[in-house]
Amino acid sequence: MRMLVVDSFTDRPFAGNPAGVCLLDRAADADWMQRVAAEMKHSETAFVRPVDAADADFELRWFTPVVEVALCGHATLASAHALYETGVAPADRPIRFQTLRSGVLTVSRAEDGGLLMDFPACPPAETEAPGDLGEALGTTPFWVGRNSQNDLLVLVADEEAVRKLAPDVAALGRMDARGIIVTAKADPGREYAFVSRFFGAGVLLGDGEDPVTGSAHCALGPYWGAELGRDRLAGFQASERGGQVGITLHGDRVELAGRAVTILDGDFKA
């Protein structure tokens, strides 16, 4: 089986968010895929195999080192990049991914050489903040919402507050949420409209922070689009590696734009 490591939402190596992409020629056991993802140790490893379906070309599943997830943006971007780059998918057609929990996802080439992903929008609805959220974050939440992915979106004071955040990730991991998205409006003069960071101690290893989270922008896009009155905008995820995500809103769908770079291409033996 061919295994690639791809840095997503970046145009340079060792930035953005790395994902493993395993190109399968037949169905694989879920327990085996979980063990592979644990071995790879990336925030997500994607498993792709061809399918004969009227509305899809490939099956796509995503695993963190500890669980299978319903949606992953950066590993979808990495998978499409890998399929195009290796020639498995025709360069002149969109790729249609069949997923277990997020329906059919389509990825196409952009005119500028990047990739465009069609995802379901997951806007947050205002909710009561967990009582210990501010203490765990080390800053004051100004607004808190929850979406259908069970992510908490937390608005804080400004871009500096997002960038300097040093939360108690273990405490965040004990909250009833897949992940915690912390966000603020970008400083004036930036080429992006907002900044964010994503913490998911329940599904991620290491320090519990994801470098660039495509699925989080399915919540961030609708939220900031409504706040700013725009249907096209960009966000910057201000992790140590960092990465920018372009967003276009289409009703209940979100188009996410980004680039990717292959870091490793080899054979998986096990």
Tens-place pLDDT, residues 100-112 = 989 999 999 998 8
Give 169's pLDDT tier (boundaries 50, 70, 90): confident
Architecture of domain 2-111+258-267: Roll (3.10)
Asked whether the predicted pLDDT for residue 93 surpasses 70, the reply is yes
102: three-class secondary structure by DSSP: coil
Q: Which helix or strand (DSSP H or E) is residue 61 part of?
A: strand 58-63
Residue range 146-161: mean pLDDT, rounded: 96
Each residue's pLDDT tens digit, 112-139? 889 999 999 999 999 999 989 999 999 9
Q: Is the pLDDT at 164 greater than 80, yes or no?
A: yes
Written as one string, the DSSP assignment of 133-201 is HHHHHTS--SEEEE-TT-EEEEE-S-HHHHHT----HHHHHTSSSSEEEEEEEPPTT-SSSEEEEEE-T
Q: State how far the Cα of 55 lies from the Cα of 149, in Å rounded to an integer.
A: 24
Cβ contact 98:58 at 8 Å:
yes
Instruction: Specify the domain boundaries for CATH 3.10.310.10 within the chain.
Output: 2-111+258-267, 125-251
Residues annotated as part of the active site: 44
Radius of gyration of the chain (CA): 18
Mean pLDDT, residues 25-48 taken together: 95
Angstrom distance (rounded) from CA 163 to CA 263: 27
In angstroms, the first-to-last Cα distance of the chain is 9
Q: Which CATH architecture has domain 125-251?
A: Roll (3.10)
Q: 65, 38 in Cβ contact below 8 A?
A: yes
Q: What residue has token string 């009582």?
A: 131
